[in-house]
């Protein structure tokens, strides 16, 4: 098998792209087994080195180790999220505890930790250059937070907890994906399509055909699909059916029910935090973030919650007036909000989704994102059709800098399909580094836009266009990275700083000079009317009470579950309700992510006790864009250079607060965020 496994050879493809056309599911397990074995040998060589610990023979040697494991892991994890099937999911289930125990065996190794400790606290520590120092400090902290200072018995228990949490995280995400991929709402008659736009009908017909229902229309549980239907459909009964299915993901009482998974996950996270000396898992997780403490997070959420809830109440009353004018005197329900909000937007600002979408075709929005990157950072994007790709929907672009040199490969996977988990994200098939040569990254954006009918163009809502810019901001964070050590590269920063590059990038979408160039009618090519641009800006704070409430509710529940684990694990959904009752959650608004499908928090630990991060980063991004506005030029070269040097290219070279201060010269308060959201 060795001679035919692509992971056992050097890839001779252009730019070192994974040879997707040759990689099969059967190749993964042998590749992981060999990579883990090789990594273990590299680690043993470091820990058993008879020479005194130095930066080169301990820290840098550690950083060089495991390259093959990283290579196969990045390919597998990306395809497990985009091209999943039962065979892939089986490998994922088997691998999760194996890889978790492998990592634990390294970071719980007392001898290995002693070498890192000796470098940091020894005489060499004072002579390290800033990047070496940062790497050593971050690596040392990773060992400590992984339990390297615990007793042997405690380390063994921690290893068991880590392995079990990895299994639970995989189970959680697979359950959600299964619920999403199993469900479609079939629209069998013309009456079922009442209110739906032509482009939605075409996409719904394409989806139904793909699912074996030729001649019908279908709606999936992709967020974009659901929100479009809830906005447009005049059928209150169908809105209720789809909304209920969307909220019930992971909570259907079947083999995919996630309630027990949540309970065990919360309990194990709490136990691990206590073993490591923390008051709760939330205290443990936030100790390594900009926020630092649960009190700081709760303070931010409380500061935003009161004005957001007040704004949402005013919005609800306006929606009720619209509904009453149509003869519906019932209270506004959760499935109704988006439908009547769109009518209110049309009434107040003469804007409706059907009018906007033709000006936001997918291809033009991709070009707009590229244009902004060119103006800010001197980047050029050229589509490459000669590169190996893993699916027909994926597009590849070579990225070059102002000097014409290669910067990165950017991949875009934009359309929803049953094999892809929902949501939108950025990831990497290869991260930037200079340790093993000038290694340039291969970065991917994944979205879940409804695929149009053959020959048609995908038309985006404003929210979908913002999501495209958001994820492209993440992509730039990965592509522009310029550091030596891969552990410090790109998006390897704290969770409440990583959203700054993405949320900041969203601002450029709505700038008039960008809209005039790229928001052009899909059929006529005419630019978006100036009057419509003005109306869009006038509506900037529209429905922000609703948006802030649905987001903050999820952030509150995430934080409180991990602060009060003994109570939360008894009945996670009862605890969820208790938190919502305490904060006064409006009955007309649902959490953006309910616990049974809250993959940010329970399919891994990236945003556990950290869903607040989007709001924290928004405090930064509202202020950061002001840095450009204050110059009178949204592409001001000097400001863009500082942004590149200290944010997009800098990875984790310095503490996030220091990075922001180097860019902006000051730390912001919450007021710009409240003003941006229309809540001040």
Which residues are identified as catalytic? 471
Query: Can you give the pLDDT at residue 672?
Result: 85
**Spans of all domains in the chain:** 2-107+109-149, 183-247, 357-538
At 3, is the pLDDT very low, low, confident or very high (cuts 50, 70, 90)? low
pTM: 0.94
Q: Name the architecture of domain 357-538.
A: Orthogonal Bundle (1.10)
Cα separation of 491 and 467, whole Å? 18
Q: How many CA atoms lie within 13 A of 60 on its CB side?
A: 14
At 187, is the pLDDT very low, low, confident or very high (cuts 50, 70, 90)? very high
363, 457 Cβ separation under 8 angstroms:
yes
Query: Can you give the pLDDT at residue 680?
Result: 80
At 354, is the pLDDT very low, low, confident or very high (cuts 50, 70, 90)? confident
Average pLDDT over residues 395-420: 97
pLDDT at 1 over 70: no
Query: Can you give the pLDDT at residue 678?
Result: 87
User: Of 550, 558, 548, 555, nearest to 590 (Cα)?
Assistant: 550
Cα separation of 6 and 390, whole Å? 14
Query: Can you give the pLDDT at residue 366?
Result: 98
Structure tokens at 592: 């953006």
Cα separation of 554 and 198, whole Å? 34
pLDDT at 118 over 60: yes
Cα separation of 478 and 434, whole Å? 14
Average pLDDT over residues 181-203: 95
pLDDT at 2 over 60: no
Cα separation of 414 and 425, whole Å? 10
Q: What would you report as the CA-atom Rg of the chain, rounded to the nearest whole angstrom? A: 25
Q: What pLDDT digit, counting tens, does each position of 534-578 carry? A: 999 999 899 999 999 999 999 999 999 999 999 999 999 999 999
Between 3.60.40.10, 1.10.1370.40, 1.10.286.10, 1.25.40.10, what CATH number should domain 2-107+109-149 receive?
Answer: 1.10.1370.40
pLDDT at 124 over 80: yes
Domains 2-107+109-149 and 357-538 are alike in CATH topology: yes
pLDDT at 353 over 90: no
User: Of 429, 449, 430, 446, nearest to 438 (Cα)?
Assistant: 430
Q: What pLDDT digit, counting tens, does each position of 215-274 carry? A: 999 999 999 899 999 999 999 999 999 999 999 999 999 999 999 999 999 999 999 999
Structure tokens at 32: 């992981």
Q: What pLDDT digit, counting tens, does each position of 54-97 carry? A: 999 999 999 999 999 999 999 999 999 999 999 999 999 999 99
Query: What is the residue whose two structure tokens read 């007309």?
Result: 588
| Per-residue CA distances from 380 to 54, 372, 401, 455 (Å) | 42, 10, 6, 27
Report the percent of the chain where pLDDT is more than 90.
Answer: 95
């Amino acid at each position: 098998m060795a001679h035919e496994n692509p992971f056992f050879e050097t890839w001779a493809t252009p730019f070192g792209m994974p040879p997707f056309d040759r990689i099969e599911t059967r190749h993964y397990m042998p590749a992981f087994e060999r990579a883990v074995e090789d990594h273990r040998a590299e680690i043993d060589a470091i820990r058993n080195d008879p020479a005194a610990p130095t930066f080169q023979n301990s820290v840098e040697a550690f950083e060089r180790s495991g390259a093959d494991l990283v290579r196969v892991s990045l390919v597998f994890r990306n395809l497990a999220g985009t091209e999943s099937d039962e065979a892939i999911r089986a490998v994922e289930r088997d691998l999760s505890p194996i890889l978790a125990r492998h990592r634990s065996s390294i970071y719980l190794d007392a001898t290995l930790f002693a070498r890192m400790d000796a470098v940091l606290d020894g005489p060499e520590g004072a002579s390290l250059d800033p990047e070496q120092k940062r790497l050593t400090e971050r690596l040392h902290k990773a060992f400590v937070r992984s339990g390297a200072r615990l007793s042997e018995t405690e380390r063994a228990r921690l290893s068991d907890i880590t392995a079990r949490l990895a299994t639970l995280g995989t189970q959680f995400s697979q359950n959600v994906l299964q619920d999403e991929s199993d469900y479609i709402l079939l629209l069998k008659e013309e009456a079922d399509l009442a209110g739906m736009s032509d482009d939605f009908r075409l996409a719904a017909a394409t989806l139904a055909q793909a699912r074996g229902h030729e001649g019908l229309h279908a709606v999936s549980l992709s967020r974009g699909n659901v929100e479009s239907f809830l906005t447009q459909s005049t059928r209150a009964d169908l809105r209720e059916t789809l909304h209920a299915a969307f909220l019930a993901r992971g909570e259907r009482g079947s083999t995919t029910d996630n309630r027990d998974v949540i309970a065990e996950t919360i309990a194990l996270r709490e136990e691990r935090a206590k073993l490591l000396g923390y008051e709760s898992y939330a205290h443990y997780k936030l100790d390594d973030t900009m926020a630092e403490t649960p009190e700081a997070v709760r303070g931010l959420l409380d500061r935003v919650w009161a004005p957001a809830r007040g704004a949402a109440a005013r919005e609800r009353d306006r929606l009720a007036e619209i509904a009453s004018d149509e003869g519906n005197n019932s209270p506004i329900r959760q499935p109704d909000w988006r439908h009547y909000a769109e009518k209110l937007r049309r009434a107040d600002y003469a804007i409706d989704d059907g009018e906007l979408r033709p000006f936001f075709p997918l291809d033009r929005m991709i070009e707009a994102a590229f244009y902004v990157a060119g103006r800010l950072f001197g980047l050029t994007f050229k589509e490459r059709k000669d590169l190996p790709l893993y699916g027909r929907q994926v597009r590849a672009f070579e990225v070059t800098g102002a000097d014409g040199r290669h910067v990165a490969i950017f991949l875009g996977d934009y359309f929803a399909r049953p094999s892809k988990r929902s949501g939108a994200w950025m990831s990497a098939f290869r991260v930037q580094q200079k340790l093993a040569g000038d290694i340039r990254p291969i970065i991917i954006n994944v979205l879940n836009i409804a695929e149009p009918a053959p020959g048609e163009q995908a038309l985006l809502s404003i929210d979908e266009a913002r999501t495209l810019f958001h994820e492209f901001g993440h992509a730039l964070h990965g592509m522009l990275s310029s550091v030596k050590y891969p552990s410090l590269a790109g998006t390897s920063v704290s969770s409440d700083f990583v959203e700054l590059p993405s949320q900041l990038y969203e601002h450029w979408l709505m700038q008039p000079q960008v809209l005039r160039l790229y928001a052009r009618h899909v059929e006529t090519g005419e630019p978006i009317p100036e009057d419509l641009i003005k109306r869009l800006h006038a509506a900037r704070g529209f429905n922000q009470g609703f948006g802030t409430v649905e987001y903050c509710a999820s952030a509150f529940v995430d934080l409180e579950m991990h602060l009060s684990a003994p109570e939360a694990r008894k009945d996670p959904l009862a605890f969820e309700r208790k938190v919502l009752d305490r904060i006064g959650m409006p009955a007309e608004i649902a959490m953006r992510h309910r616990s049974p499908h809250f993959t940010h928090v329970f399919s891994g630990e990236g945003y556990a006790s950290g869903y607040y991060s989007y709001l924290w980063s928004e405090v930064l991004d509202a202020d950061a864009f002001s840095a450009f506005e204050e110059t009178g030029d949204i592409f001001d070269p000097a400001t863009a250079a500082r942004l590149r040097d200290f944010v997009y290219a800098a990875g984790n070279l310095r503490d996030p607060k220091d990075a922001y201060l180097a860019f902006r010269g000051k730390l912001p308060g919450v007021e710009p965020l409240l003003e941006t959201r229309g809540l001040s």
